[in-house]
Amino acid sequence: MSADLSGVVLLDKPAGMTSQQAVSRVKRALGVRKAGHGGTLDPDATGLLVIGVGRATRLLGYVLGHDKIYSATIRLGVGTVTDDAAGEPLGEVRDASRLDLATVSQAMARLTGEIQQVPSAVSAIKVDGRRAYAMVRRGEAVELASRAVTVRRFDLRQAVVSAPWLDLEVEVECSSGTYIRALARDLGRDLGVGGHLTRLRRQWIAGFPPDRMVGLEAVGRPDVASLISLTEAAGWLFDSVTVPDSMVADITQGRPIPVSLTGTTDHPTAILGRVRPQSGSAEPVVVGLYRADPDHGGRAVPVAVFISGGDGDGIVTVSDSSAMALSDQSRPTSPPGGIGDEQDPSAHDQTRRGQ
Three-class DSSP category at 235: helix
pLDDT for res 65: 87
- Least Cα distance to 203 among 76, 65, 67 occurs for 67
- Describe the crossing of helices 180-191 and 101-110 by its angle, rounded to 10 degrees: 130
- Give per-residue pLDDT as tens, 92-101: 999 999 999 9
Catalytic choice (12, 42, 84, 167): 42
Which runs of E-coded beta strand occur in 54-137?
Answer: 68-76, 79-80, 89-90, 113-117, 126-127, 130-131
pLDDT for res 332: 36
- Asked whether the domain spanning 68-205+334-350 has the same topology as the one spanning 7-65+208-229, the reply is yes
Our separate counts of H helices and E strands in the chain read: 7, 18
What's the fold here for domain 7-65+208-229? Pseudouridine synthase (3.30.2350)
Q: Does domain 68-205+334-350 have CATH number 3.30.2350.10?
A: yes
**Order of strands across the sheet with 126-127?**
130-131, 126-127, 349-350
Q: How far apart are CA 345 and CA 305, in angstroms?
A: 24
Is 42 among the residues known to form the active site?
Answer: yes
Which segments in the chain show pLDDT lower than 70?
1-4, 277-281, 307-355
What is the residue extent of each domain of the chain? Answer: 7-65+208-229, 68-205+334-350, 230-312
Q: Which residues lie closer than 8 Å to 333 by C-beta, 6 or more apart?
A: 20, 124, 131
Task: Give the number of residues written for the chain.
Answer: 355
Q: Does domain 230-312 have CATH number 1.20.140.10?
A: no
- Give per-residue pLDDT as tens, 74-96: 999 999 988 999 889 999 999 99
